[in-house]
Structure 1
C-alpha cells in the first residue's frame, strides 16, 4: 500500500503542465482552490487557468429555499473560479438565510448582495435552458413561489466591494447622497489610480429617497462609468471581510447598496484594462404628442410617494384638472391598439446638483417617468415624488413595436462588441428588465434575454425583473417654443438595461 502511494505521488509530480491543466480545468471551485495550494507548480497552473475573467449565473426555481440556494451555488461553483463578488436575487423568502448559506460556501472575504426582486431570469441549473419566473401581475397579494438567481464573478484586475446607503432619521436625501458619492470615491482612491469606478451595480429599497440619490450619482460620476441596477426592492449586503450584515439602529433604514468595480492599482495597466464594462438599453415606451407644464403639484406621504397635479397644455393658459388631462390622453389614443395599459408621463426635471460644499451647483436636466394611477375633478395622480410646479412633461405609453425594434438594436450592439479590433470576448451578462415586460408583454418566452441568446448561446447570463430599471443614457426632447433639451435618463420603466462584461484577449 505504501509503495502504491509513492507511485501515485511520483506520477502526479511527473505530469507535465498541459496534462495537469487539463485535469484541473475539470475541478469544481472548492477542490480547485485546494489544488492551488498543493505546491508552487500547481499554483502557477491554477493561476494560468484563472488568467481570464468569469461571471456565471445560475437560476433555480426549486420552491424549497434551502435546496434552491444550494443548487444555485453548486452550479455556479461547478467550474474553477475565485469569487470576487456574489449577487443573489430571490423572489421571496428569507434574505438572512440566503446570505448565511452563501457566506458558508464562499467565505467571509467576498462581498455579497442579496435582494428580493419582482422576478428572475437566466439559464436554469437543471437543464441550462433559458427561463424566467415573474411575480403574479396582481402583485404582492399573491405569494410568489421561491426562485433564485445567483451570480458569481471573478474579474482579475478589478477590485470589488459593496458601498451602502443607510439613512438615519435626521439625514436628508442631499446629505446621504453626498456621503454615498464620497464613500465611492474614497473606496476607489484606496484601491485604484483611477478617479472613478469602471462600473456601479445598484440595488435599492422601495423608498422615495432613491431617485434623488441616483440622480446625484449620475451627475457626479464621469460618462465612462457604467451605472445599472434595480431602483425598487429589498436588499441585504455584506462588505468584503465582514462576518455578517451590519445591524441597523432603531431610526436607520436601508436605501441603496452599490457594488463598486474599480481598476486595481496593483495590477499592470495592460491587465487591469482588459476587463471592460458595457451597457445597452431596450426601451418599451412610445411618446404621444401631448405636452404639458405642471401648474400645481402636491406630494403625498413619503411612505407611499405619489404626486397630485394640475397642468396646462404647452402654449395655453387654461389649467386642466385630472379628468381633463385624462380625457386629453384618451381622445388622442382613441382606437389605438397600444392603449391597453396605464400611461406614463415623462417629466423633465431641471435641478441643481453639487457634491458637498466645495463645488458650485450646476443644473442638470433629467427625464423621469411616472405612471398615471388615477384622476378626478381636481387632480391627476401619478406614482412617485419629486415633481415641481413648472416642470414640463409628455405622455408615453407601452409599445410592443418599439420594444421589439429596440431588442434588435441591442442585439446588434452586442455583436459589435465582438467585432472590435482588440478581439473582445464576452465573459458575462446581466439584465435588469422592467416588471411590465416578460412573456406576458412580448407574447413569447425569453424575449428580454434574446440579445444574449442570439449572440452568446453558451453564456451563463442572468437577470431580474424590477420596478425601476437603472441605466445611463441621453434623451433629446423638444419642448416649449420648439426648444431642444438634452437630458439625462438614468431611471427607466418598461425597459431592459443590459450589463455586458468583456475581456480584451490581445
Structure 2
C-alpha cells in the first residue's frame, strides 16, 4: 500500500493532463490531487521558434509539464506571427471555461522552454534595421503564462464600443466589474484587474473611471496599447477584425467567498519603476485646440506668475536650454495636471486630480503640438524627458523594496508557529508579471535584463514573466515621480511612459483546521 505522502510526491511529477486523469481513479487519489492543485502556482515559458505551431507547442508543453489547475491564460506573440491563428492554437490547449487573452507585444521576458534560461527579447520595430542590428532578434516568438491563485475567482469582461466604434461603453464596464466582484466576494471592488487595451483606444478615460470607482486597495496594471484577442466563459472575441473587436478587456480577480475550507489568501503587490524626469518650470495652458483627426492638441501657454503668452518654439527653446542646449531629445513629454469632475451613472459628480502624459510632437511660432486629446485651457503642465540614469536608479530602489517585502513576509510568517516551533503560516512570493515600456531595454540601458534584475535577484527560482508594451498601466499617484512628496499623493497617475510595472503575487496559507 502506497502511503499518502509518497503518492503526493508521485503526483507532483505528473504532466497536468495526466494528473487530472489520475484524479478520476479513486476517491483517495482525488483527495490527494485536490490538495496538490490547491497550492498557488504561476507557470510560464518562452519560445523563439520561427514556427508558430512549434512555438505554441513548446510553451504549452512546458507550462503543463507539472500539475496545475489553470484559472487564466495570458499569451504574448511576436509581430511576425498571425494573431488569429496563434489565439486558435493556444485556446485549443485549454478548457473552454478558462479565460484566455492573446496579444501581440513589443517583446517578451521569461524562461526559455528549451534551455530554461531567462531571456529578454525585444522585437525590432525600428525602420532603420541596420542601426539597431545589435538587438539581434527576429520578430517571432511566444510567451505563455498560466496561473492558479487560491482564494481568488477570475473573470474576463470586455469593454464594448457602440455601433460605429465611436463611443466606449465605459460605465457599462465599470458596473459589470462591480456586479461580478460583488457576486463573487460581497465587495464591489475586486482585488486586482489586469487590463489590456487596443492600440487605437485611448484607455485614459477608462482608467479615470476605474480609479474613481474602486477601493484604493484594488491593484490595476496592464498593457495600454496592443492588439489582442480573448476568450472567456461568457465572452469571446474570435477575430482581430477591427469592426468586430472590443476596445479593451479586463481580467478580473475577486475574493472567492465560496472557497473551500483550508484555502489561504493570495495578495497582489504592485511597484512602479519610473523612467522620466521633470525639467523646466510649470506652464499653464492658455489655449488648447483639439484635432481629433490626427489625435493631437495645439497649445499656447504661459509660465506661472508671468503674463506673457508663449508659442511652441519659444517653449521648446526654453526646455532646450534646461537640457544644456541639446536640441534633440529622444523622448519628450508634457505631464498635464487635470482637475475634472467624475461620476458613475446618476451619482453626484466629484472633483478629481489626475496627471497624464502627452508626447511632444513639435513646436512652431504659433503652437506647441502634443499627441492626444483631453487638455483644456487652465491646465498646468511640466516637461518630462526620458532618463536611463533615473530609470536605473529607480530599478535599484525597486530591488530594495523587493528585499523589504521579502523580509516583511518572512516576519509576518514567523508570528504563526506550531507547538514544535515549525512555521505553519509562511507567507511567500510565488510569481511575478512585468509590463515594461518598449522604449526601455538593452538600447536604453546599454545592457540587458536591467528591468528584470530586481525580481530575479530577490526571488531566484520563482516564476517571472513579462512583456514590452506601448503604454504601461499602473494605478498610482504623482508621488511615484517625486519621491517623498506628500503633496502629490492626491494627484492620480495611471498610464505611464518609459516605466516598468511589477506585479508580485504572494500567498498566505490558512491556519490548520481544528
The reply to whether TM is greater than 0.5 is yes
Query: What does the per-residue CA deviation read over 1:39-75, in whole Å, with 9 as the maximum and x for residues that have no partner?
Result: 1111111112122111111111112111111111111
Q: Which runs of 5+ in 2 are unaligned?
A: 131-136, 414-425
SS for the counterpart of 2:29 is helix
Aligned to 2:248: 256
| Alpha-carbon shift at residue 238 of structure 1 (Å) | 0.7
CA RMSD of the aligned region, Å? 2.6
3-state DSSP of counterpart to 2:246: strand
**Counterpart for residue 355 of structure 1:** 344
Query: Are 2:370 and 1:387 equivalent residues in the alignment?
Result: no
1:266 aligns with one of 250, 258, 271: 258
Is the 1:208–1:305 Cα contact (8 Å) retained in structure 2?
no
Please show how residues 94-109 of structure 1 align to structure 2 within 5 Å: 94-109=82-97
Residue in structure 2 matched with residue 84 of structure 1 by the alignment? 71
Aligned to 2:291: 300
Match status 1:286 vs 2:277 = yes
Deviations 1:80-127 (A, max 9, x none): 101100001112222222222122211101011111111111111121
8 Å CA contact 2:191, 2:268 repeated in 1 = yes
Match for 1:46 among 25, 29, 33? Answer: 33
Which residue is 2:171 aligned to? 178
On the 8 A contact 1:477/1:484 being kept in 2, the answer is no
Deviations 1:361-387 (A, max 9, x none): 111111111111212222212222211
Question: 2: distance between equivalents of 1:307 and 1:140?
Answer: 29
Q: 1:122 aligned to 2:110?
A: yes
CA contact (8 A) 2:361 2:371 kept: yes
Match of 2:500 in 1: 496
Which residue, out of 170, 188, 200, partners 1:207?
A: 200
Cα distance in structure 2, aligned partners of 1:477 and 1:80: 39
Change (3 A) 1:339 1:109: same
Q: Secondary structure, in 3 states, of the residue corresponding to 1:366?
A: strand
- Which secondary structure state, in structure 1, belongs to the residue aligned with residue 24 of structure 2? coil
Equivalent runs, 1:151-170 vs 2, <5 Å = 151-169=145-163
**TM-score under structure 1 length normalisation:** 0.90
TM-score of the pair, normalised by structure 2 = 0.89
- Paired with 1:248 and 1:411, the residues of 2 have a C-alpha distance of 38
Structure 2 partner of 1:451: 454
Cα 1:411–1:310 change in 2 (3 A) is: same
Superposition misfits of 4+ residues, deviation over 6 angstroms: 140-143, 247-250
| CA positional deviation for 1:411 | 1.5
Report the secondary structure of 1:260's partner residue. strand
Distance in structure 1 (CA, Å) of the matches to 2:128 and 2:185: 42
Please show how residues 228-247 of structure 1 align to structure 2 within 5 Å. 228-240=221-233, 245=237
Partner of 1:149: 143
- Please give the per-residue CA displacement for 1:380-421, whole angstroms capped at 9, x wherever unaligned: 122222111111100111112221121122112222232221
What does residue 377 of structure 1 align with?
365
What is the match of residue 321 of structure 1? 311
Q: Post-superposition shift, 1:498? A: 0.5
Question: Are 1:344 and 2:348 matched, yes or no?
Answer: no
Distance 1:241 1:101, change over 3 A: farther
Check whether the contact 1:122–1:462 (CA below 8 A) recurs between aligned residues: yes
> Secondary structure at 2:30's aligned position in 1?
helix
Q: 1:477 to 1:148 in 2, by over 3 A?
A: closer
Paired with 2:234 and 2:331, the residues of 1 have a C-alpha distance of: 46
Q: Does residue 472 of structure 1 match 2:472?
A: no
Unpaired runs of 5+ residues, structure 1, are 1-13
- Cα separation, 1, equivalents of 2:63 and 2:240: 31
Per the alignment, residue 134 of structure 2 pairs with none
1:151 deviates by: 0.6
Q: CA deviation at 1:355?
A: 0.5
Question: Secondary structure at the residue paired with 1:233?
Answer: strand
Q: Which residue of 1 aligns with 2:321?
A: 331
Q: Report how far residue 157 of structure 1 moved.
A: 1.7
* 8 A Cα contact 2:165 2:243, kept in partner: no
